[in-house]
Amino acid sequence: MRLIVSIPTTNRPEIVVPTVLDIARQKRFPDLVIVVVARADDIDAHKIADLPFPVCIVQSERGSCIQRNTALSMLQEEDVLLYLDDDFLMAPDYLANLEHLFKSRTDVVMATGTVLADGIHGPGISHLRGLEMVSRTAPTITPEITDIYNCYGCNMALRAAPALLDKILFDTRLKLYAWLEDVDFSRQMAAYGRIVRSSNLRGVHLGTKVGRSSGLRVGYSQIANPLYLHRKGTMAFNRALNIMCRNLASNFVRSFNSEPEIDRLGRLKGNLHAFGDLARGRINPEKVARFE
């Protein structure tokens, strides 16, 4: 079994390089790191040239799903692939614990970790602060393995065989940031085994705001994507409705006093654009690409 890490990234070279370098702190090195970029200047290859594990930089079309599929196409059936966001830092024993999980629990097809802190819900967490958090955490003697509905895309691992044999891919109709692609992929993989969260897979999602999608695009996806996944059959209607209502309410209320790091008014406008398309029978996730 090879343990492979893949990091899709776009327009964030100053973010992804420290994340790749940080993997050298792992007690168990990956057999390969695949960095999937949309442009050649999305990463400075010279800065990651002397690491104790191989790094492969691959270029593909821009878009989270397309870039994730590029990594999938490079796998062998016995592999385990861990997707990391370009701003996710792992505790030093993360990969060792991940390998043990997939070797000891053959019924697990996907796994995600315990996020100690998530900067996506605020102004973000600095790289130094994130390192402090993951360095002082300790594993439990008996890890808690919990069955979950879906993995969290910032750190999710999969067993390659089911995906390759049944040609399960990330849905490229979910464009650019591809919100909820982790749910869609997880529910397809759920037909082949357990999807779990482990307390010993610990990490910090910095939630760095540089290069994030515009508020308008995010807001449109917050409505279009749940509806699309419901129609596709990978999300129950009550779950999709709850997600849409929660985001619409949050964007409306907070647009009057928005957080500095979140474009709430842009998200609200995106929500309304999506509802307008829904009323006209024209809503689809691809339309997010029309917004700046």
Average pLDDT of the chain is 93
267 and 184 assigned to the same domain: no
Last residue of a domain, one of 205, 228, 250: 205
Q: C-alpha distances in angstroms, 207 versus 19, 65, 126, 154, 197? A: 12, 19, 9, 10, 20
87 and 184 assigned to the same domain: yes
Domain count for the chain: 2
272 and 165 assigned to the same domain: no
Q: What is the pTM of this model?
A: 0.92
At residue 161, the pLDDT reads 97
List the CATH number of the domain containing 151. 3.90.550.10
At residue 122, the pLDDT reads 82
Q: Which candidate, 164, 170, 153, places its Cα nearest to that of 61? A: 170
**For the ranges 6-15, 120-129, 224-233, 283-292, which has the lowest average pLDDT?**
283-292
User: Which residue is listed with tokens 């614990």?
Assistant: 97
Last residue of a domain, one of 164, 186, 205: 205
Question: In angstroms, rounded to a whole number, what is the distance separating the alpha carbons of residues 220 and 280?
Answer: 15
At residue 120, the pLDDT reads 87
At residue 35, the pLDDT reads 98
pLDDT one-digit tens code per residue, 200-214: 999 999 998 775 668
Report the share of the chain in percent with pLDDT over 70.
99
For residues 130 and 204, the answer to whether their CB atoms sit within 8 Å is yes
Answer yes or no: is 210 within a domain: no
> What is the DSSP code (8-state) at residue 197?
E
**For the ranges 56-65, 117-126, 188-197, 242-251, which has the lowest average pLDDT?**
117-126
**For the ranges 54-63, 101-110, 118-127, 143-152, which has the lowest average pLDDT?**
118-127
For residues 80 and 98, the answer to whether their CB atoms sit within 8 Å is yes
Quick check: 292 pLDDT over 70?
A: no
For residues 83 and 68, the answer to whether their CB atoms sit within 8 Å is yes
Answer yes or no: is 51 within a domain: yes
Q: Are strands 108-118 and 155-159 parallel, antiparallel or unpaired?
A: antiparallel
At residue 178, the pLDDT reads 85
Q: C-alpha distances in angstroms, 52 versus 79, 100, 168? A: 20, 21, 32
Quick check: 259 pLDDT over 90?
A: no
What's the mean pLDDT in 234-256?
94
Q: In sequence order, which residues have a C-beta less than 8 Å from that of residue 199 and are 6 or more positions away?
A: 114, 139, 140, 143, 144, 145, 146
Question: In angstroms, rounded to a whole number, what is the distance separating the alpha carbons of residues 250 and 232?
Answer: 26
Last residue of a domain, one of 205, 234, 267: 205
For residues 211 and 15, the answer to whether their CB atoms sit within 8 Å is yes
Quick check: 262 pLDDT over 60?
A: yes
Residue 222 domain boundaries: 215-290
155 alpha carbon, distance to own chain's centre: 6
279 and 201 assigned to the same domain: no
